[in-house]
A and B are shown apart, each in its own frame.
Chain A
Amino acid sequence: MNDELTTDPSKPSQRMRAGSLSLTLTPWIVAAFLLLVLPFVFTNNSAITIMNQMWITVIFALAYNMLLGQGGMLSFGHAVYAGVGGFACMHIMNMSDFFAMFPLPVLPLFGGLFGMGLALIVGSFSTRSAGTVFAMISLGVGELIAACSVIIVAFFGGEEGISGDRTYAMPFFGNEFLQPIDVYYLTSFWVLLSAALMYLWSRTPVGRMANAVRDNPERAQFLGYSSRWVRFYSFVASGFFAGVAGGLFGINYEILTEENLNTASSGVILLVTFLGGVGFFFGPIIGAIVFTLLQTVLSLQTELWAFYVGALFLATVMFFPGGLAGILMMHVPAIKLGKAGGLVRPYIKTLVPALIGILGLAALVEMTFHVRHAATGDNEMTLFWTTFDSHAILPWIIAIGVTVVGLGLARATLPAMKEAWSEANSVGGKL
């Protein structure tokens, strides 16, 4: 390969060529700094638990995106690999002699190895084709293993799951990981390491070939690469990192149950990844952070949070298939042209009324739900910090009014926003 002739590293467009293992350091240093500082900003234990949950989801979503975004394989049963990795870690925790031989931060490695082992077995027959067939096999295998959890009690612990105690490991520089903050730094270390490794993986020839096979398997075959084996390698690597996420879950919660394996959790990780955006490496990271926040905040506020998240997901698939990362990266050309400032006013004009309209719609949904499902005689409900009678007519009028006005305004200002958008993305002055 004589790519010196064709690639000029000084040009940004050609800097990231295949096989280049250089890492732009700035984002990683910023990320490491943030990971270090965040617990000083959010000091209480519940915030730290949420952040732990977030980083675990980040690893899992990145691993999932190795399949979906980079390899073009849609899996409906990926929670299985995380779950099996986690269960293996719990069993290691319970083997007190073996567990005392190494410090706790090493444990997720075993989770990864077990996840990888399972992926080796399943991948040997499931990666033969991508697309629908792969999706169906992943669903079937996922259901199979999830159903096994009540049958193979020795490994999966039946309905009560497997629990353990992380503190029996060899002390790590005198630290026994008693406090959530200790676990936080352990998780942070692993999230940084896994993310960096996964990023580097996507830069290796096999990672780049995964993209080629995703886009055009036939052509990749003609170039002499077996698309099946390329898929297989991605699958196994993804299984490894999913297992790491599972192991970290085990360390954090010290219990794993059937819930970590079932189709619902596989669905959640698909949702997280797609919401964040499958087209960019950092998409799943945004997705994991946004989803965990949504989950925590919304589920405290309303019983219907899954409904809203489902609606958001569907809207993302229909209107923004690039996800949140896609929306963010859409603005890069405008920023490069120096015209992003012109977008701020139209955005405010359209998006603020749209947001108000959507909140009004949500209020209507909540009120309908309250009228239908609250106990008879319980007419009082609290919404947006106001308490009112859900059977009276006035709140309904207000909610409908707000919805109609908000969405109507958004609709009316939409053409102006579109115009501003095309203006911001065109070279030169006004036409």
Chain B
Amino acid sequence: MELILVNVIDGLVTGLLLFMLSAGLTLIFSMMGVLNFAHASFYMLGAYFAYQISLALGFWMGLLVAPLIVGVIGAGVERYGLRRVHQYGHVPELIFTFGLALLIEEMVQFVWGKNTMPYSVPEVLNFTAFSIGANSIPAYKIFMIFTSVAIFIGLLFVLNKTRVGMIIQAALSYPRTVEALGHNVPLIFMGVFGVGTALAGVAGVIAGPVLGTFPGMAFVLGSIVFVTIVIGGLGSLWGALVASLMIGWITTFAKSYNVQMSDILNAVGISTPENLGNSVFRDLWTVTSPQIADILPYILMVLILIFRPAGLFGKRES
């Protein structure tokens, strides 16, 4: 029971972190129809900038300033890069963001080198919030949960209750009409791209101390984020939330419970073959759930795509 609770909290942290990335990505996707391959790279930039700022001004200034810088860079990328490539179509746009992801990774290696940066949890939050049985829950995790939830609520509020949000939502579905009504749609696009990347930056700032700040961090999380929004349904914010939490919990639980494939197969009624060492299927028998925890999201994605191609919450394609 205690372990379940701890895992629920851990999974929630992972899921909400994923959601911060997938929320921005899905907003950008539903607006411009392009998946930003470099989204996770902005997350990485957020972590690195925050580390650099925290050296001089402390963690909190990093949390405040780094996402702003990332957002400005993101807006610049939209203005001077994507808008230019947009005329060639969606596939070149995707290729552009892919190249951008490569380049950002190389740049980060160029500036900060290949080693993990000593970016750590701030002193204020470096204590145990509470304990469940023998497991202590660090305060930083609670902080992560609250930050992500606050951002999600703020995002929902802005999108649904404010004038700006209304215009953005209108521009998502009928950009031409909104333009005809006198709104500057390219500016809205640039703004949304900037905000989306800034959200990824926030995720990077708060995830950097826990997951490590190293040049590979973008690719580690990047593909999972894509999987998330495909599972949730491209362009659906709620789908992104559900899929993020689902993936967070699935991977956490798979890692902490050591379920063996041989046990499952035995339970179904297939007995373990005699000489396992020579069997072609020996790896299938010895597979354990922590081993496959990281590929479970991909398996889930393939299954979803086969049985429900539009994703969990996605609209049917026109």
A residues neighboring B (CB under 8 Å): 68, 72, 74, 76, 125-126, 128-129, 131-133, 135-137, 139-141, 143-144, 147-148, 151-155, 263, 267, 270-271, 274, 304, 306-307, 310-311, 313-314, 317-318, 321, 365, 369, 372-373
Contacts and interface: CB of A to CB of B under 8 A. Distances in A.
A341 B295 CA distance: 58
B317 A129 contact: yes
A72 B96 contact: no
A314 B103 contact: yes
A139 B91 contact: no
Contacts of A270: 95, 98
Contact of A132 (B90, B96, B110, B283): B90
B95 A147 contact: no
Given A126-B305, A135-B91, A307-B109, 16 more contacts: A125-B302, A131-B90, A133-B230, A137-B301, A137-B302, A140-B305, A144-B295, A144-B298, A148-B295, A151-B283, A274-B95, A314-B99, A314-B100, A318-B81, A318-B84, A372-B111
Contacts of A318: 81, 84-85, 96
Contacts of B282: 154
A153 B298 CA distance: 19
B284 to A, nearest CB: 8
Contacts of B34: 132
B309 interface: yes
Q: Which 5 A-B pairs have the closest CB atoms?
A: A144-B298, A307-B106, A310-B103, A147-B295, A314-B99
B91 A317 contact: no
Nearest to A125: B306
Nearest to A156: B283
A136 B106 CA distance: 23
Interface in B71-108: 81, 84-85, 88, 90-92, 94-96, 98-100, 102-103, 106-107
Interface in B14-34: 29, 33-34
A136 B230 contact: yes
Contacts of A372: 111
B88 A76 contact: no
21 contacts: A126-B305, A128-B309, A129-B309, A135-B91, A137-B301, A140-B226, A140-B302, A143-B227, A147-B298, A154-B280, A263-B223, A267-B102, A270-B95, A307-B107, A313-B99, A314-B81, A314-B99, A314-B100, A314-B103, A317-B92, A369-B110
A133 to B, nearest CB: 7
A135 B35 contact: yes
